[in-house]
């Protein structure tokens, strides 16, 4: 989502701190070259840290002169966030961006029916809604359950039912599927698509179980060959019995059969000492570990070391592959591909009959044609709690219910850092040029013509905040725009009770008194804040947009060969995309006196007699002012 | 989103603080409830005449909706409800959703919550838009769609009929899919999603 002008982004300081790992942090502090461009904003209060912070401060002063935040640097992309996306950790006293948090899933829910799915069901449902929610396989729009019977009046509606897409008008009738009931569509669909599944599954399970039972007392075959031969024989018999009648299994059933088959394979080829466990335990049991370990040790030379008591096997165990359909074997039909090609070429299929790559990506691997596409159960979404990566404190914890929009914990940065808003100043006051249209079009700023921008910072804390703003005099990048903050140091009042303000009869918001201020305040003056309210302060930024490289305003050297000149301009424009976007990096330093009740151990330089601790926070923000016109 | 300078007196301000452009087209006003401090800009179309007629289901002809049936005085049905501080931009269209149910085509009420923004040229036929919902410029919200609180419909998106957009989700594309989530601070007063009061204040000032 790119935002319309004017916008403000805030840079999370984490981009400059290497890794939120205490050991790493210590190291970076010791080596000044690698240390972050900005110190951790909250300065610690212990003695040792005070020393460090002084060093840092010095270093910052040194570095600040060379290094300012460059919104155009490729790395800035990763640290700039809109203010509402940032969180704030009260333990670390730092801004936290999506990169410096970890997430935990609180609940799963279906975005379509907004029902919560219990975590135990999520896996078995394949992370998809188990109810009636489906997406269209053609266009991904949600499908609606509707009847094909045209019932009028108040009689009970009855099926057959279909799923239909309201967007592309696809219905399940297109693939020949109807439902008997309007509820529990997913299980109905599952039954339909693998009609053979339960039977085949049972059969294969039975088969493997009988195999296991049969084999178990005989598992001490003299050699593997004998064993596998015997099983092959058995398998062949089974295959002969089943194959002609058995319809092809569905993918799920085949997967289950294969899984079963390999499980029995592993249990049978592993050491016979653990073999009797195989019927009771699956892979995820301690017995399985034993089995696997013995599998490895028996086949390697180490068996002499670890399995010394047993005599080494003559041959390593050999696992065979699935041989029958009941074990999950699927033989590709003989002229499968030629059939497919013939179908592709046939006039009734054509391009429209083919499933696109996007459509196939969500379907079974052998779905090639539009007819093969099945309705997709809706993927579940999650509600997630967020933790600070470095101190593990919970920053955001939503309520579990999918419908609820409330949070149990929500530490957003906007409650701590002042909310920046940007607005061009309508220059009705400019006495020199009264004829000029007062509103500035932010999408085409005239180069070299000064404009004034009102930057309002609104404090959401209950303590008054002192702010220092700083900008590089000239914006980084190829377009040198001059920026001056007319009153870089000011104070913002506390976010006190709204009634205080109402009783005092002050201005309620910065916007309401726009006209008044424009008339009364006249020209923006250096060193004076433009306007001030209960918990907000507005200052003026004077901006002189630079000229774009290659534009006529810059050079003015009448190049006779205009064609090449144009090409140059084009090349420049192509090489530096969005070069004309005027973004101003502003360094914000804020400090305030906070109650020290949370950390009483801290008695540092900032502590005051009345249990107040001076806290500091510093960060870069980027003001997106507008686009500069290519020429005058 | 500062509106263009309008001619003086373009907006009519009602007792409850609604600012309604004289150039907007509002049909069936007796079936529309505005919660107060709602802004309706020029050329916006609000179809309050498409309300549900329970007793006479066939009287509302979908092909000729401009000739509404005479509302029965005993059951004043509401076609469109709009909450406080909602903002209907230029040329947006609000139209109650309709559905063919048991062979009868009937309209259902359209409920719009508080602090909702409907962008320029957007067409909204949803069953409900929650609070703090943003519908982008040129977006279309299909019939009977449900957009929950704090959801964000990107510019030009086409939300298919009957879709449910959960809270905090960003949807975009044609047809719309969930493409992301807004930050936790979305909807905080003055920040993104919480600009409704400011938008309201700016409207219609000389």
Which CATH architecture does the domain made up of B11-51+75-202 adopt?
3 Solenoid (2.160)
Whether A219 shows a pLDDT value over 50: the answer reads no
Quote the minimal CA–CA distance from A18 to chain B in Å. Answer: 24
Instruction: Evaluate whether A548 touches A579 at the Cβ level (below 8 Å).
Output: yes
Across A224-238, A589-603, B119-133, the highest mean pLDDT is recorded for: B119-133
A146-185 residues touching B, CB cutoff 8 A: 150-154, 157, 165-168
Cβ-based contacts of A402 with chain B (< 8 Å): 166
Cβ-based contacts of B1 with chain A (< 8 Å): 4
pLDDT band at residue B81 under the 50/70/90 scheme: very high
Whether A607 shows a pLDDT value over 50: the answer reads no
Instruction: Kindly write down the DSSP assignment for every residue of B113-138, as one continuous string.
Output: -TT-EE-TT-EE--SEE-TT-EE-TT
Residue A288 backbone dihedrals phi, psi, to 5 degrees: -65, -35
Average pLDDT, rounded, for chain A: 71
Across A24-38, B21-35, B59-73, the highest mean pLDDT is recorded for: B21-35
B123-142 residues touching A, CB cutoff 8 A: 142
Whether B131 shows a pLDDT value over 60: the answer reads yes
Contact A140/B at CB under 8 A: yes
- Give the chain B residue nearest A112 (alpha carbons): B164
Distance CA A377, CA A371 (A): 17
pTM over 0.90: no
Distance CA A410, CA A406 (A): 9
Mean pLDDT (whole number) for A583-592:
90
Residue B126's pLDDT is what?
94
Residue A388 backbone dihedrals phi, psi, to 5 degrees: -70, 135
pLDDT band at residue A115 under the 50/70/90 scheme: very high
Mean pLDDT (whole number) for B34-38:
92
Cβ-based contacts of B149 with chain A (< 8 Å): 405
Residue B43's pLDDT is what?
93
Instruction: Kindly write down the DSSP assignment for every residue of A285-308, as one continuous string.
Output: SHHHHHHHHHHHHHHSTTHHHHST
> Above pLDDT 90, what percent of chain A?
12
Distance CA B88, CA B69 (A): 26
Residue A5's pLDDT is what?
80
Cβ-based contacts of A1 with chain B (< 8 Å): 154, 170, 180
pLDDT band at residue B57 under the 50/70/90 scheme: very low
A107-126 residues touching B, CB cutoff 8 A: 109, 111-114
- CB-neighbour burial class of residue A598 (10 A; exposed 0-12, middle 13-18, buried 19+): exposed
Are B185 and A412 a contacting pair at CB < 8 A? Answer: yes
Domains and CATH numbers, chain A: 1-16+68-85+418-428+440-505+521-551+577-600+610-631 (2.60.40.10), 134-196+343-377 (no CATH)
Whether A27 shows a pLDDT value over 60: the answer reads no
Residue A511's pLDDT is what?
45
The two three-digit tokens of residue A608, written as one number: 């005051």
Contact B54/A at CB under 8 A: no
Least confident of A259-263, A430-434, A616-620: A430-434
Other beta carbons within 10 angstroms of residue A10's beta carbon come to 26
Residue B146's pLDDT is what?
95
Instruction: Evaluate whether A545 touches A447 at the Cβ level (below 8 Å).
Output: yes
Of A265, A273, A269, A268, give the one whose Cα is nearest residue A311: A273
B185-204 residues touching A, CB cutoff 8 A: 185-188, 190-193, 197-198, 201-202
> Measured over all CA atoms, what is the biggest interatomic distance in chain A, rounded to whole angstroms?
107
Cβ-based contacts of A413 with chain B (< 8 Å): 185
């Amino acid at each position: 989502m790119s935002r319309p002008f004017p916008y403000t982004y805030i840079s999370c300081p984490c981009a400059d701190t290497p890794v939120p790992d205490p050991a790493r942090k210590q190291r970076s502090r010791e080596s000044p070259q690698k240390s972050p461009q900005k110190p951790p904003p909250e300065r610690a209060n212990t003695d040792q840290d005070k020393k460090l912070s002084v060093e840092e401060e010095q270093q910052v002063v040194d570095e600040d002169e060379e290094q300012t935040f460059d919104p155009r640097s490729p790395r800035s992309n990763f640290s700039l966030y809109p203010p509402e996306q940032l969180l704030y950790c009260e333990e670390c006293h730092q801004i936290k961006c999506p990169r410096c948090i970890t997430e935990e899933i609180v609940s799963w829910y279906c975005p379509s029916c907004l029902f919560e799915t219990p975590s135990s069901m999520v896996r078995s449902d394949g992370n998809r809604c188990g109810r009636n929610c489906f997406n269209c396989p053609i266009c991904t729009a949600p499908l609606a359950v509707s009847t094909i019977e045209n019932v009028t009046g108040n009689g009970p509606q009855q099926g057959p039912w279909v799923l239909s897409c309201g967007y592309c008008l696809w219905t399940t009738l297109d693939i020949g599927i109807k439902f008997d009931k309007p509820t529990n569509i997913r299980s109905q669909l599952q039954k339909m698509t693998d009609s053979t599944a339960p039977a085949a599954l049972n059969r294969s399970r039975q088969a493997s179980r009988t195999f296991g039972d049969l084999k178990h007392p005989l598992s001490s075959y003299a050699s593997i060959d004998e064993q596998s031969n015997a099983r092959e024989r058995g398998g062949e018999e089974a295959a002969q019995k089943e194959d002609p009648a058995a319809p092809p299994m569905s993918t799920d059933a085949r997967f289950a059969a294969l899984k079963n088959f390999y499980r029995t394979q592993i249990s049978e080829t592993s050491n016979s000492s653990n073999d009797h466990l195989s019927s009771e335990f699956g892979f995820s049991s301690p017995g399985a570990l034993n089995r696997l370990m013995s599998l490895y040790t028996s086949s390697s030379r180490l068996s002499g070391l670890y399995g010394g008591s047993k005599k080494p096997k003559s041959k390593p165990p050999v696992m065979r592959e699935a041989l029958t359909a009941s074990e999950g074997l699927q033989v590709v039909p003989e002229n499968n591909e030629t059939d497919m090609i013939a179908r592709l070429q046939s006039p009734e299929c054509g391009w429209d009959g083919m499933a696109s790559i996007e459509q196939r990506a969500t379907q079974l691997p052998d779905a090639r044609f539009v007819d093969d596409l099945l309705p997709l159960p809706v993927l579940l979404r999650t509600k997630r709690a967020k933790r600070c990566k470095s101190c593990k404190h919970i920053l955001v914890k939503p309520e579990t219910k999918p419908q609820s929009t409330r949070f149990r914990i929500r530490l957003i940065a906007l409650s701590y850092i002042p909310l920046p808003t940007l607005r061009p100043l309508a220059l009705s006051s400019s006495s020199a040029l009264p004829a000029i249209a007062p509103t500035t079009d932010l999408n085409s700023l005239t180069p070299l013509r000064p404009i004034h921008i009102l930057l309002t910072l609104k404090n959401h804390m209950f303590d008054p905040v002192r702010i220092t703003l700083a900008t590089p005099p000239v914006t980084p990048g190829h377009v040198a725009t001059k920026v001056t903050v007319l009153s870089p140091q000011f104070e913002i009042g506390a976010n006190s009770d709204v009634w205080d303000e109402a009783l005092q009869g002050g201005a309620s918001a910065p916007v309401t008194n726009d006209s008044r201020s424009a008339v009364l305040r006249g020209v923006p003056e250096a060193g004076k804040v433009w306007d001030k309210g209960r918990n907000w302060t507005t200052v003026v930024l004077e901006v002189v947009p630079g000229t774009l490289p290659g534009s006529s305003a810059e050079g003015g050297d009448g190049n006779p060969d205009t064609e090449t000149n144009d090409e140059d301009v084009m090349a420049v424009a192509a090489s530096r995309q969005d070069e004309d976007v005027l973004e101003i990096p502003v360094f914000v330093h804020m400090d305030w006196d906070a109650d020290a009740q949370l950390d009483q151990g801290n008695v540092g330089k900032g502590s005051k007699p009345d249990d107040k601790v001076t806290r500091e926070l510093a960060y870069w923000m980027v003001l997106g002012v507008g686009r500069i016109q290519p020429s005058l | 989103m500062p509106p263009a300078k309008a001619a003086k007196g373009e907006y009519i301000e009602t007792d409850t603080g609604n600012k309604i452009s004289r150039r907007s087209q509002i049909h069936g006003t007796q079936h529309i409830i505005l919660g107060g401090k709602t802004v309706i800009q020029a050329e916006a179309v609000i179809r309050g005449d498409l309300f549900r007629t329970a007793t006479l289901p066939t009287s509302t002809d979908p092909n000729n909706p401009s000739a509404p049936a005479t509302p029965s005085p005993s059951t004043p049905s509401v076609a469109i409800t709009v909450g406080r501080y909602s903002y209907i931009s230029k040329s947006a269209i609000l139209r109650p959703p309709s559905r063919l149910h048991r062979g009868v085509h009937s309209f259902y009420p359209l409920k719009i919550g508080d602090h909702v923004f409907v962008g320029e040229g957007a067409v909204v036929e949803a069953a409900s838009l929650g609070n703090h919902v943003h519908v982008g410029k040129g977006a279309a919200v299909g019939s009977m769609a449900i957009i929950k609180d704090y959801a964000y419909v990107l510019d030009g998106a086409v939300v298919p009929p009957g879709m449910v957009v959960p809270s905090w989700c960003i949807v975009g594309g044609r047809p719309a899919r969930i493409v992301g989530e807004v930050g936790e601070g979305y909807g905080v007063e003055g920040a993104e999603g919480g600009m409704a009061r400011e938008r309201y204040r700016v409207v219609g000032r000389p």
